[in-house]
Amino acid sequence: MSATTRLGLPEEILACLFDLDGVLTETAKVHAAAWKEIFDVFLHDRATMSGGDFVAFDDKNDYATYVDGKTRLEGTRSFLASRQITLPEGSPSDAEGMETVNGLSNAKNAIVTRRIREEGVNAYPGSLTYLGEVRSAGLHRAVVSSSANCVEVLKAAGISEFFEARIDGTTVIQQHLAGKPSPDTFLAAAQILDTSPKQCAVFEDALAGVEAGRAGGFGFVVGVDRVGQAAELHIHGADVVVTDLSQLLQTP
């Protein structure tokens, strides 16, 4: 059995591009909770001022549909648009919670950063096992995340050493890359690893992420279902869906 076959991947795959939150680390729930906290306060205040109904942010469906896998700013814009709400963009220096796209995004980031520092970060055991097997097999490895907190999360989870390259929310800004569902971030990772998209496998738990993998013409797209959305992951472009990366490993 070849190394790639043992990993549950096609023979032509030479590199693995991993999303971070929800694929490697148990931080997706931290992000979902932070979005809910911010948006619920905003929506409640807005409903009180207008006399309208308060409809809370759904940390499962709204999170998966509008913000998961996207940069903070894109996630904020996407969810607000779903509620037919338009806010000024503001600037990156806007105070946390200010009613601008940047203000709400900054408030969300502050919550996530605090929780990561206070509570720490756990990597999924199955993901650790799989990463070890990928490294042992000699395949190239990159982490591709929309999060600007990527470096901090990798260090907190103790998994920085597994990766040869990193594309994250900071890279998106510096290189003017389009965020997921655009394939730009994954394409940038493939370029750093000197591999073609067809030689890369993408590992994603977000609908926007698997859509990006399919849009970029990558050789194999693995959907990681942590919240019961296997069917949606298939529809958006996953070649295979697992609930844990260790399920991909084949016994010789």
Positions marked active-site: 19, 21
3-state secondary structure the chain: CCHHHHCCCCCCCCEEEECCECCCECCHHHHHHHHHHHHHHHHHHHHHHHCCCCCCCCCCHHHHHHHCCCCHHHHHHHHHHHCCCCCCCCCCCCCCCCCCHHHHHHHHHHHHHHHHHHHCCCECHHHHHHHHHHHHCCCEEEEECCCCCHHHHHHHHCCHHHCCEEECHHHHHHCCCCCCCCCHHHHHHHHHCCCCHHHEEEEECCHHHHHHHHHCCCCEEEEECCCCCHHHHHHHCCCEEECCHHHHCCCC
User: What is the C-alpha to C-alpha distance for residues 175 and 7, in angstroms, rounded to an integer?
Assistant: 32
Nearest Cα to 5, choosing from 128, 203, 139, 202?
Answer: 139
Question: 115 φ, ψ to 5°?
Answer: -65, -40
User: What is the C-alpha to C-alpha distance for residues 39 and 57, in angstroms, rounded to an integer?
Assistant: 6
Quick check: 240 and 7 in contact, CB under 8 A? no
